[in-house]
């Protein structure tokens, strides 16, 4: 098994790091750069940046924030929100990102996944999924940061996305996001089993038990978290130590 990754997720609105609950009710946390450097120095394995209003306005505004981060942060950076074309992806990658995460535009035009994967490699093409449960064992993919229904079944959509060239899945459970009530383990497990590529579980981390459950019961390859880190409820060091104590394959720093 590859080492389990601990990934701080930075949701951005304008110049600010923000945090919402179920992707709504946003509160300003502070300066994204300060937080990025703090997480890098604390031993984060990667960072995820999401421009959470970008798909509404049709463009991603993160390139300045990313180029600043890239000068001081030497771990992989994934950037999502409002990326609609190969040119958008190129712009974000040139700013210093290693991967782009695409949701809304890939739902509108799935061939974009292949275009980005062919041009920059599958490893740079992360399919972002915003999932809401609709029945037992059934989830629907949402667009526009959890605002718009699409009618797509999550499991069918991730399989198709990987066939088209997605190299990784960022899986956000919208109903859990910002609630600290734990990951949607059934969702994580179902998606992990559906595709051969790594799955990043996102949405709901509130305790170390949640982290362990996502890895052990959900088979997540990476775990994204925001609230617990932004509000300093726990540190990356605490999480890493607890994971090591539980025998989980996080890297030793």
Catalytic residues: 11, 130
Contacts of 46 (CB under 8 A, 6+ apart): 5, 7, 75, 76, 77, 78, 222
Q: Which of residues 5-34 bind other proteins (CB under 8 A)?
A: 5
Q: Is 183 in the site for other proteins (CB under 8 A)?
A: no
Contacts of 32 (CB under 8 A, 6+ apart): 10, 12, 15, 16, 17, 49, 65, 69
Residues 249, 252: Cα–Cα separation, whole Å? 9
Smallest distance, other proteins to C-beta of residue 221, A: 6
Report CA torsion sign: 108, 114, 115, 116. positive
Q: Is 96 in the site for other proteins (CB under 8 A)?
A: yes
- Given 198, 208, 216, 242, the residue binding other proteins (CB under 8 A): 198
Q: Is 196 in the site for other proteins (CB under 8 A)?
A: yes
CB 198 within 8 Å of CB 219: no
Q: Which of residues 44-63 bind other proteins (CB under 8 A)?
A: 45
- Output the CA–CA distances (angstroms, integers) from residue 14 to 17, 31, 83, 105, in the order listed: 8, 11, 16, 20
Q: Which CB sits closer to other proteins, 124 or 205?
A: 124
Query: DSSP assignment, residue 220?
Result: -
Q: How many residues bind other proteins (CB under 8 A)?
A: 33
CB 200 within 8 Å of CB 7: yes
- Given 98, 140, 184, 227, the residue binding other proteins (CB under 8 A): 98
- Residues 115-154, mask of contacts with other proteins (x by CB under 8 A): -----xxxxx------------------------------
Q: Which CB sits closer to other proteins, 124 or 155?
A: 124
Structure tokens at 65: 């924030």
Binding residues (CB under 8 A) for other proteins: these are 1-5, 40, 43, 45, 70-72, 74-76, 93-94, 96, 98, 120-124, 167-168, 196-198, 221-222, 251-253
């Amino acid at each position: 098994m590859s080492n389990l990754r601990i990934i701080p997720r930075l949701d951005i609105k304008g110049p600010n790091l923000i945090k919402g609950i179920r992707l709504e009710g946003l509160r300003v946390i502070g300066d994204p750069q300060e937080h990025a450097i703090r997480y890098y120095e604390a031993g984060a394995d990667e960072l995820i940046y999401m421009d959470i209003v970008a798909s509404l306005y049709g463009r991603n505004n993160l390139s300045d924030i990313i180029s600043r981060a890239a000068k001081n942060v030497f771990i992989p950076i994934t950037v999502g929100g409002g990326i609609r074309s190969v040119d958008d992806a190129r712009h974000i990658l040139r700013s210093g990102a290693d991967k782009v995460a695409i949701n809304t535009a890939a739902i509108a035009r799935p061939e974009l996944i292949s275009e980005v994967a062919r041009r920059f490699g599958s490893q740079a093409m992360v399919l972002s999924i915003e999932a809401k449960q609709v029945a037992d064992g059934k989830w629907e993919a949402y667009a526009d940061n959890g605002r718009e229904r699409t009618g797509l079944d999550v499991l069918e959509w991730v399989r198709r996305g990987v066939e088209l060239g997605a190299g990784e899945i960022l899986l956000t459970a919208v109903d859990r996001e910002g609630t600290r009530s734990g990951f949607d383990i059934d969702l994580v497990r179902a998606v992990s089993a559906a595709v051969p590529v790594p799955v990043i579980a996102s949405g709901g981390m509130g305790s170390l038990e949640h982290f362990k459950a996502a890895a052990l019961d959900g088979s997540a390859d990476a775990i994204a978290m925001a609230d617990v880190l932004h509000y300093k409820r726990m540190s990356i060091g605490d999480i890493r130590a607890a994971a090591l104590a539980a025998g989980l394959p996080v890297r030793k720093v």
